[in-house]
Amino acid sequence: MKQKLVPYSIIVIFFVIFLVFYKSLKDTNIYTPEVKINNDIPIFSAERLLSNESLDSKEIFQLDKFYILNIWSSWCAPCRDEHSILMDLSKSNKFIVIGMNYKDNKKNAKSFLDELGNPYEKIIIDKNGTKSIEWGAFGVPETFIIYNNKIIKKYIGPLNQELFLEIQNLTK
């Protein structure tokens, strides 16, 4: 009995190891941070893109309104793709779209908006990338939906038609 136990346990151990490795073959190693919902928005003050004045977060986000904060940059290609969606969202009058210009230079950012249109009611500048980290973002584009000073939804990567409909349904 004891002699049989050893080969059996070896087979079982190898089988378990095989299963673990086989399963992790398909797992992705890229970690995207879990989306934390209902976090309070950070308090900050930032310079505006189209004028030289600075803005406080309290002046931007008011209660009982839906806001979309979109982190974008003129050098970011996916931002170009999602721009038409943002234009549509700003036209729908359900949301106030705020832009955060990430690590960009003013001239390029302005010509980007001249070319594709400006969906943003206000645009703030994040010159060194620290403000977007305070929001919990780690790249461009990222989009936050804000209601009553809380982040109710967050999208990493460009928006598309599907997400457009999802965002539209959030206000209901």
Binding residues vs other proteins (CB under 8 A): 29-31, 33-34, 36, 39, 103, 128-130, 132-136, 138-139
Residues β-bridged to residue 143? 70, 155
Nearest approach, Cβ of 80 to other proteins (angstroms)?
A: 18
Beta strand pairing call for 122-126 and 95-102: parallel
CB of 102 to other proteins, least distance (A): 9
Q: Is the CB of 57 or the CB of 168 nearer to other proteins?
A: 57
Q: How far is the CB of 162 from other proteins (least distance, A)?
A: 25
Output 91 or 150, the one with its CB closest to other proteins.
150
Give the nearer residue to other proteins in terms of CB position, either 74 or 118: 74
Nearest distance, CB of residue 92 and other proteins, angstroms:
30
How far is Cα 93 from Cα 76, in angstroms, rounded to an integer? 26
Residue 112 vs 135, nearer CB to other proteins = 135
The alpha carbon dihedral of 28, 73, 122, 129 has a sign of positive
DSSP tag of 37: -
Residue matched to tokens 């990493």: 156
Q: Are 85 and 159 in contact (CB under 8 A)?
A: yes
